[in-house]
Structure 1
Amino acid sequence: MGSVLKSESRDGVLLLTLDRPEARNAVNAELRAALSAAMREFAADDRHRVVIVTGAGDKAFCAGADLKELAGRGTGQPPPDYFAEFGPDDFIEKPVITAVNGAAYAGGFRLAQFGDICLAAESASFAISEAKWSRGAPWAAPLTRMLPRRVLAELLLTAQPISARRAYEVGLVNEVLPQAELLPRAWAIAETIAKNAPLSVRASKWLMRVGAEAGVSATASIGAELFRHVYDSEDAREGPRAFREGRRPEWKGR
């Protein structure tokens, strides 16, 4: 993966660690390219069913874009593919867990937000800090559905951080944990998901995706079609058969 992004693989789970602790794991061109490549590989790789994203050290998950690097490039709106780490429309069919080990600011907040499940260390904090430096946060659009309006206004307009506990209270974070328990808990959740039927898991992600943008009736209709492919699969026959025989299912993903 290179010197700025570390990887580890275990039992169908991929761990990616942003590894620029001296720069608070800020995303420079090298890290952005490495993370984009790693996520594309994960999306296409049947060996891994879940990915965990975390940061090196205990100070920062990710401080966002490397402003020192940006200062050397001049101003201007980022190109359309600037935030391409998770695909052109910020969607990957397979589950993503973000383990926020410290400060998640600006683009780092965005990385944390991308997780289907987000865990945070007790020392973590979250900020949409772009307004402090005359930057923009179009990536915050999904937060208009995830957060109450006044909570989002506080984050966007003050550009000040909120604690991990506050993030949990407003629904941004699933669990808040001691630093030493963060990655073990992320691994445990990821391994639980990885044992489930991959077609069901992927259809469930699509259901959540559709539900975020469509009404309940439309989502139910599309969901029926999504899961029709699951019910027609070889795995759908394997599940009940394994239950009857008292063994763990052997999923084929088809």
Structure 2
Amino acid sequence: MTVTVARDKETGVAVVTLDRADKHNAITLDMARQLGEIWREFRFDDTVRAAVVTGAGQRAFCTGIDRAAATGVPQPSSPYTIDDPLIAIGPKANDLWKPVVAAVEGMACGGAFYLLGEAEFLVAGEGATFFDPHTTYGMVSAFETIHMAQKMPYGEIARMALMGSAERISARRAYETGLVSELTADGGALDAARRAAAVVASHPTEAVQGTVRALWSAKEAARAQALAHAPHLVTLGNLPPQRQSELFVRRGDGFRLR
């Protein structure tokens, strides 16, 4: 299994771990399927009252989709639709309204934002960094920016998306701008996220889930409208796969999504 789940029935907290540290926890198609199944399973598991999502190791939370896996996904010819393997990897996309806390160590970039964007709040180690390399390699950052626009000021998300791999947002800057709610020493994010989730899980679950649902209802309409535009923005704006591959090879000093 490349996504693991550890349940603590005493606290009511489940820890979901992207367990592919040697590949910076890049998400394969199988992992994407597993994540959807896990969130849907939590809807029916009353012993899980809150969840933490994290990545194995200290080098990365997640670096998005495994590029080798992505190249194997056939795409429709219409510019108004796209078969996005990551579209349903988040808890809200699977109709889970139990609270989710993200614990971030190391790099978090690109497709990682599908998960971070659907977490209630983020805890990060001081060495964590956030960046979005899409534009650097001729790809439109649409789904990622829409997800993170719910959590970051416009100027911050715009700068991150447009600067591409040339700039990374430090954990300190992310904390100062509200993306991260708590900073810890490196290696401490998971324990801090567990503690916060355990406090939330100790409250009556009906009230907690209702509060999560209320929070999301405040921004749901704008988010849904924006996501409706994302598929054709991606298909119209992305360079052809061959050109993208050439840029990956040419920019050897940049970040590679592999």
SS of residue paired to 2:187:
helix
Instruction: State the match for 2:225 in structure 1.
Output: none
Instruction: State the match for 2:249 in structure 1.
Output: none
1:182 aligned onto 2:155: no
1:63 maps to a residue whose letter is: T
Distance 1:55 1:213, change over 3 A: closer
Q: Within 5 Å, give how 1:70-109 maps onto structure 2.
A: 70-73=70-73, 78-79=82-83, 82-86=86-90, 89=93, 92-109=96-113
Deviating above 3 A after TM superposition, structure 1's stretches of 4 or more consecutive aligned residues are: 71-78, 87-91, 142-146
Distance 1:53 1:122, change over 3 A: same
Q: Can you list the C-alpha shifts for 1:169-219, whole angstroms capped at 9, x where unaligned?
A: 11111011112322211111111111101111011111111222479xxxx
* Structure 2 contact 50–197 (Cα < 8 Å) conserved: yes
Instruction: State the match for 2:213 in structure 1.
Output: 206
TM (normalized to structure 1)? Answer: 0.76
Q: Can you list the C-alpha shifts for 1:131-162, whole angstroms capped at 9, x where unaligned?
A: 12233333222444533322222011111321
* Max Rg structure: 1
The separation in 2 between residues aligned to 1:183 and 1:96, in whole angstroms, is: 13
1:183 maps to a residue whose letter is: L
The separation in 2 between residues aligned to 1:136 and 1:34, in whole angstroms, is: 26
Aligned-pair Cα RMSD in Å: 2.2
The separation in 2 between residues aligned to 1:75 and 1:130, in whole angstroms, is: 18
Q: Can you list the C-alpha shifts for 1:84-108, whole angstroms capped at 9, x where unaligned?
A: 1125747521100100111001011
Distance 1:193 1:119, change over 3 A: same
TM (normalized to structure 2)? Answer: 0.75
Instruction: State the match for 1:6 in structure 2.
Output: 4
Which of the numbers 104, 121, 134 marks the counterpart of 1:130?
Answer: 134
* Structure 1 contact 96–117 (Cα < 8 Å) conserved: yes
Q: Can you list the C-alpha shifts for 1:44-93, whole angstroms capped at 9, x where unaligned?
A: 21110101000011000000011122234467764156411125747521
1:168 aligned onto 2:175: yes
SS of residue paired to 2:123:
strand
The gaps in structure 1 that reach 5 residues or longer are 216-254
* Structure 2 contact 101–119 (Cα < 8 Å) conserved: yes
SS of residue paired to 2:188:
helix
The separation in 2 between residues aligned to 1:87 and 1:97, in whole angstroms, is: 11
Instruction: State the match for 1:195 in structure 2.
Output: 202
Q: Percent identity?
A: 30
Instruction: State the match for 1:25 in structure 2.
Output: 25
